Amino acid sequence: MILPGATLGVLGGGQLGRMFTVAALTMGYKVMVLDPDPNSPAGLIASEHLHADYHDPAAFERLATECAAITTEFENVPADVMRQLAQRCIVRPCGDAVAIAQDRAAEKTFLREHGLQTAPFAVVNTADDLAAAIGVTGLPALLKISRFGYDGKGQAKVNSLAEAQQAFADMGNNVCVLEKLLPLKQELSIVLARDAQGNTACYPASENSHSQGILDITIVPARVSEAVAEQARDMATRIANELDYCGVLAVEFFLLEDGSLVVNEMAPRPHNSGHYTLDACHTDQFEQQVRALCGLPLGDTRLLSPVVMVNLLGDVWGDSQPNWEAVLRHPQIKLHLYGKLAAKPGRKMGHFNCVAATQKEALALALQARHDIGINTKPHLLDV
């Protein structure tokens, strides 16, 4: 076990790294963050912030010699850096697992090879591959860039070969994945942790609603049958085992109209849809990340209360601070802001969690507070 007093390293300084840093500092660890942004949210509160490139030799040496263990807060950190660091100290998750998760083509292929159901897909290496790919998926379909796409960026719905060719060109003729457009009933996710001995601890299934490709609302427990929730947990656990994963892993699912469950994608880190754990679970996902990294027993993932999480994007700011009184006047709402200096449309700036005695009450409170603070888009939820 790596015990409090040791220094932990984090590759990436965004909001996930910030919340990991809070958890680690609270538990008595020191935290060294590597991020090129001098104002990164995690770097601003870390014990030390190395604002350097991920391939910077001096920063690499500091991490390798001063950190007892190192983790990542986003999947697009260079996997080769993680592999090199692992030759000098503990790195969890491993670079090989991150390399699969950061490349959509590799991820989909991995899932298919291990018998896990996904949407029908085809890898598109060049524009010449598009016609054959459409033969696999049919139309309409979704064209998604294989690397560096997130929150709805780097993807386009296509209804014809011509549209697919234009979308591929718009994505810089980079490798893409074409996926069949499925009839969705709900979107779910499972956040879990797996330790180095292969023990796993799953959080409850989350029901997620997205707006323009960005998570809007998470409802926990998800409004699905226990059989569906158990199937999602089993599939996520299987993925973690097949990857020989160590750390916190999130797996997103599509529940289709026919009741079948397919894997959408995975994230080798804590996840936006797991932020509810900060206020509604015995152990939140960031403490769990510390525990898995340091070889401590995994924490209790019990849900203590129904909860609804609402994302706060930069759109809410406009030219001034949002009306925080609209949220903070409710004793059942917990506000979390990420310390980002500039609010931009679509940028994740914070979230709030609404806890209540029942799921229905938590959702009603979330929708009211969401409206009162100026989020006027209609959520894509059932039975609201």
User: CB–CB of 258/203 below 8 Å?
Assistant: no
Are residues 242 and 364 located together in one domain of the fold?
A: yes
Residue 384 has pLDDT above 80, yes or no: no
pLDDT at position 152 is 60
Considering the domain architecture, whether residues 168 and 205 belong to the same structural domain is answered as no
The whole model's pTM is what? 0.95
Determine the pLDDT at residue 148. Answer: 79
Per-residue pLDDT tens for 59-110? 999 999 999 999 999 888 999 999 999 999 999 999 999 999 999 999 999 9
The tens digit of pLDDT for each residue in 6-29 reads 999 999 999 999 999 999 999 999
- pLDDT for res 16: 98
pLDDT the model gives residue 280: 98
Q: What is the pLDDT of residue 184?
A: 92
User: Span 205-209, mean pLDDT?
Assistant: 97
Domains in the chain: how many in total?
Answer: 3
Which CATH number do you get for residue 316? 3.30.470.20
Averaged over 361-381, what is the pLDDT?
Answer: 91
Co-location of 158 and 63 in the same domain: no
Q: In the predicted model, what is the mean pLDDT of residues 118-143?
A: 97
Domain of residue 77 covers 7-91
Mean pLDDT, to the nearest integer, of 200-207? 98
The confidence score (pLDDT) of residue 318 equals: 83
Residue 293 domain flag: yes
| CATH number of the domain where residue 23 is located | 3.40.50.20
**pLDDT (mean) for 354-380:** 94
Band (381; pLDDT cuts 50, 70, 90) = low
d(CA 284, CA 270): 10
Residue 384 lies in a domain: no
Mean pLDDT of 128-151: 91
Contact predicate 218/206, CB 8 Å: yes
Mean pLDDT in residue range 248-273? 97
Q: Report whether 102 contacts 84 (CB < 8 A).
A: no
The single-letter code of the amino acid at 49 is H
State whether 225 and 162 are in the same domain.
no
Residues 247, 336, single domain; the answer is yes
Q: List Cα–Cα distances, 39 to 27, 29, 211, 276, 330, in angstroms.
A: 24, 22, 28, 26, 31
Residue 337 lies in a domain: yes
CB 56 within 8 A of CB 85: no
CA distance 173 to 179: 17
Regarding whether 210 and 68 lie in a shared domain, the answer is no
Residues 199 and 322 in one domain: yes
- Using pLDDT thresholds of 50, 70 and 90, give the confidence band for residue 151: low
**Which DSSP string do the residues of 244-297 spell out, in sequence order?**
T--EEEEEEEEEETTS-EEEEEEESS--GGGTTHHHHBSS-HHHHHHHHHHTPP
pLDDT at 319: 82
pLDDT at 379 over 90: no
pLDDT for position 365: 97
With a cut of 60, say whether residue 229 has pLDDT above it. Answer: yes
